Structure 1
């Protein structure tokens, strides 16, 4: 049973979940400015039980390379305790004319008491995923002004949303407003610098001209920035 339990834990350790997470990270995103020696992240265990925590960083795929070192990679967190994690850029070249994005993952597994490994138990690990933005020093403008660099165009019955800035545009929600009613276009998407996103409204929209497009962007502090444009 010990072997089966350990194998099951390894299989579920990388899965993503959000509910009832005992260990949380301070902040909703991580900004790593060019030239920084390192970045200290703070994790907190809010619960009355201990956890084993594993941290890692990738480029968007589980085995994807990211030019960062995370220390310590595995640690135990006692109840109602904190833990600092250090993120260090390893120096591999990254684009200097735009942000690069990576993903910081921290998985938490309830710590087992002595003797329980012999018992038949179902154990779930929860993995949280947070964006890491590497921000070159040479970027012009300001990330808070990203909404001012969003360009819209109509392509038949589709809308192209172009991010002309050097920063990533995190879109919490994009809606069309017609007769005071919001019609959903997209949720939880990110538009890379100098890139675009094409959205297709539902069939109930027969004409786009004159409608209002409302974008809710998320800034560095997790605050919503609302911008509206007339098509």
Structure 2
């Protein structure tokens, strides 16, 4: 199945409500799941906890990042469970052998979706007139094949950076090359240009390149670019900032 526009709107509405003080009742025990085939031969776990007093139904499933849940190489057990107030449930994430062939020379990434469904029984609701919306939490699931070279913690230091022309040849962009078999997820990228600029970037995939546009108000033309970046490690912690000067590259940035 794919997420419908209605479901996406519900998630957006939930986020908006959260900014106004509404809080999710279910807490997911981590911002990422590492399925390391070297130690996790068949399964790994993710804890979910009901922080409040009201029971919730928790639905869990895997998707490919674009909302597609068909033919996923992982399953979640239990897929649906009632979680009482103050209780915790371990979700078992199992590899489905033979269903989908995954690369053996690099990590693959999926998403674990945890949806909390509030009670419909008015006797269980503290405020029966309040708007009830199912809250969807998504965390990355990294599948790490056994036998990968190197160490995931060392991957950020091995990134290769260069400064290239921006979109349509205007301004500049950062090109980051990841020669490792591990994903590197960025927390912050701070450019020290004409004015300091924070840039949003998600992650660079294994053995791949990523182009990160720089606002022209910070860097108006290609040249050495000074910046710092932090990443998120396996435990969800932010790593210390690394200072870099990216030198110009003759390669041109592709259209975004």
Question: What TM-score do the two structures reach when normalised by structure 2?
Answer: 0.77
Matched-pair contact (CA < 8 Å) for 2:112–2:140: yes
Once residues 61 and 147 of structure 1 are traced to their aligned partners in structure 2, the CA distance between those partners, rounded to angstroms, is: 26
Once residues 158 and 178 of structure 1 are traced to their aligned partners in structure 2, the CA distance between those partners, rounded to angstroms, is: 12
CA drift at 1:87: 0.8
Aligned to 2:251: none
Once residues 243 and 222 of structure 2 are traced to their aligned partners in structure 1, the CA distance between those partners, rounded to angstroms, is: 14
Once residues 182 and 224 of structure 1 are traced to their aligned partners in structure 2, the CA distance between those partners, rounded to angstroms, is: 20
Does residue 168 (structure 1) correspond to residue 183 (structure 2)? The answer is yes
Aligned to 2:234: 220
Once residues 198 and 63 of structure 1 are traced to their aligned partners in structure 2, the CA distance between those partners, rounded to angstroms, is: 26
Aligned to 2:30: 27
Matched-pair contact (CA < 8 Å) for 1:12–1:125: no
Matched-pair contact (CA < 8 Å) for 1:12–1:124: no
CA distance 1:115–1:21, shift in 2 (3 Å): closer
CA drift at 1:105: 0.3
TM-align CA RMSD: 2.4
Aligned to 1:198: 211
- Which structure: greater strand fraction? 1
Query: Which segments of 5 or more consecutive residues in structure 2 lack a partner in the other structure?
Result: 1-5, 166-171, 247-256
Query: Which segments of 5 or more consecutive residues in structure 1 lack a partner in the other structure?
Result: 1-10
How many residue pairs match? The answer is 218
CA distance 1:23–1:159, shift in 2 (3 Å): same
Match of 1:72 among 78, 102, 105: 78
Structure of higher RCO (CA pairs closer than 8 Å, 6+ residues apart): 1
Aligned to 1:3: none
Aligned to 2:53: 48
Question: What TM-score do the two structures reach when normalised by structure 1?
Answer: 0.85
